[in-house]
Amino acid sequence: MSDNSLRLVWIYPDLLSTYGDQGNALVVERRARQRGLDVARLDVRSDQAIPTSGDIYLIGGGEDRPQRLAAERLRRDGGLHRAVGNGAIVFSVCAGYQILGHEFINDLGQREPGLGLLDVVSTRGEGERCVGDVLGDIDPGLGLPPLTGFENHQGITRLGPTARPLANVQLGKGNGTGDGTEGAYNDTVFGTYMHGPVLARNPLIADHLLKLALDVNALPPIDDRWYEALRSERITAAQQPA
């Protein structure tokens, strides 16, 4: 963390802010402020340079053409690579998750290079879109309670050897590979198909990002009663047959 404030960067709201994922930025910002931190939130449009001195970078989901445009502009910009090289934390959702991998299928049906910050490759499924509530167990390495979220995508994402699955789904499709995995992560870069937004549904993932950025093992507790109530309602709802 540079000086005394947490620098939170929301990447390309003009292209990748379709499914309420800016809520992830709102949740991280709020939970940091509740711990007494100053937060500088920077919303970076796709005609602006990505700052390289951020602490946490967030990328959301978007439609197919904006996804291709975002990948082109992020590759050309190069700032996110430098930020990750500086130790920044990146958390990405859906279209943003695919962009962080090695490649994905763009709106023209072609293979589009990603940023290669996560060891994953995405293709597009043939069947129906995966739409609905998801419930999963987060990778034991992270020590976090169950994952709840809402998925709405047609992607299939396969993990390479240096990425670990973020979760294993009990209900829902997740990475769409049929092996039950959902999302991917390495030391500092995270990806998921979950909306909801996912950090509002899973505030302890937001805290995990804060701990990594602050390089601390624990954060002061805050009142999570509404998050807890929402989580338990959504987990119960996901378990009930439609």
Partner 1 sequence: MAGNSDPLSPRAKLAVTAGKAVAAASRAAGRGSGSVIGGRVALKLDPDLLARLAQHLDVILVSATNGKTTTTRLIAEALRAAGPVVSNALGANMPAGITSALAGGSDSRFAVIEVDEKYLSGVARDTDPKCIALLNLSRDQLDRAAETRMMAEHWREGLAGSKAVVVANADDPLVVWAASSSPNVVWVAAGQMWKDDAWSCPSCGGVMQRPGDDWFCGECGFRRPTPSWALSGDHVLDPHGSAWPIHLQLPGRANKANAASSAAVAAVFGVPPQVALERMYQVQAVAGRYDVVQFMQRDLRLLLAKNPAGWLETFSLIDPPPTPVILSVNARGADGTDTSWLWDVDYTRLTGHPIFVLGDRKLDLAVRLEVANQHFQVCESLDQAVQMAPPGRIEVIANYTAFQDLRRRVGN
Mask for 182-211, x = binds partner 1 (CB under 8 A): -------------xxx--x-----------
3 class by beta-carbon count within 10 Å (0-12 exposed, 13-18 middle, 19+ buried)? exposed
Does residue 65 belong to the site contacting partner 1 (CB under 8 A)?
A: yes
151 class by beta-carbon count within 10 Å (0-12 exposed, 13-18 middle, 19+ buried)? buried
Both tokens assigned to 179: 């092996």
Does residue 128 belong to the site contacting partner 1 (CB under 8 A)?
A: no
Residue from 10, 19, 57, 91 binding partner 1 (CB under 8 A): 19
Is residue 195 flagged as an active site residue?
yes
Where in 133-162 is the site for partner 1 (CB under 8 A)? 150, 152
CA distances from 20 to 15, 56, 60, 62 (A): 13, 18, 8, 10
Binding segment (CB under 8 A) for partner 1, from list 12-20, 80-88, 109-117, 157-165? 12-20
Sign of the torsion angle spanned by Cα atoms 114, 150, 14, 5: negative
Residue from 23, 54, 176, 191 binding partner 1 (CB under 8 A): 23
Q: 55: closest CA among 71, 32, 74, 72?
A: 32
Where in 87-116 is the site for partner 1 (CB under 8 A)? none
C-beta closer to partner 1: residue 149 or 191: 149
Sign of the torsion angle spanned by Cα atoms 4, 192, 200, 18: positive
C-beta closer to partner 1: residue 1 or 229: 229
Spot the catalytic one: 102, 130, 153, 195. Answer: 195
CB of 240 to partner 1, least distance (A): 13
Task: Tell me the catalytic residues.
Answer: 94, 195
Q: Provide the binding-site residues for partner 1, judged by CB under 8 A.
A: 13-15, 17-23, 26-27, 30, 45-47, 63-66, 69, 131-132, 150, 152, 195-197, 200, 226-227, 229-230, 233
